[in-house]
Amino acid sequence: MIKDLVIFYVKTNYEEYLKSNGIEKIQNDSISSVVDSLYTEKKEHLRGFILNSMREMLKTDYPGDLPINAILNDVFQDDDFNKTKLVQEITSFQSLKDKKNV
């Protein structure tokens, strides 16, 4: 569930970035710097988004913030790995998008 929320969050922010910058895609040589900037800027917001979403979705089954924060601490422990993964995901997503438009 957390992975799905992260993917939703990243995709939403990716689309917002494209829209606010008036572009259809991020140039491949700029993806790393965009991801670095957005990741650093939005990391704590993402944590709050996940916590709030989990509370809302699980309602009475929500285990509490402590176990969710423990998972999130593990997820956010390696920022370099996370940024690399996001660069790969965006590169792959844009490549598939380009193929569909051909």
| Residue pLDDT, tens place only, 34-60 | 999 888 899 999 999 999 999 999 999
Q: What is the pLDDT of residue 102?
A: 62
Cα distance between residue 93 and residue 59, in whole Å = 33
Q: What is the signed CA dihedral for 38, 12, 6, 95, rounded to 10 degrees?
A: -80
pLDDT of residue 25: 93
Assigned domain for 94 exists: no
Residue 29: name the closest of 90, 70, 96 by CA: 90
Q: Is residue 60 part of a domain?
A: yes
Structure confidence at residue 11 as a pLDDT band (50, 70, 90): confident
The reported pTM is 0.81
Residue 9 counted as domain residue: no
Query: Is residue 83 one of the residues assigned to a domain?
Result: yes
Domain count, the chain: 1
Task: Say if residue 101's pLDDT is above 80.
Answer: no
Q: Domain range spanning residue 39?
A: 30-88
- Within a domain: 35: yes
**What is residue 73's predicted lDDT score, i.e. its pLDDT?**
94
Q: Is 26:17 a contact under the CB 8 Å cutoff?
A: yes
Measured distance CA(19)–CA(66) in Å, rounded: 36
Q: Given pLDDT bands bounded at 50, 70 and 90, which one contains residue 68? A: very high
> Quick one: tokens of 84?
């690399």
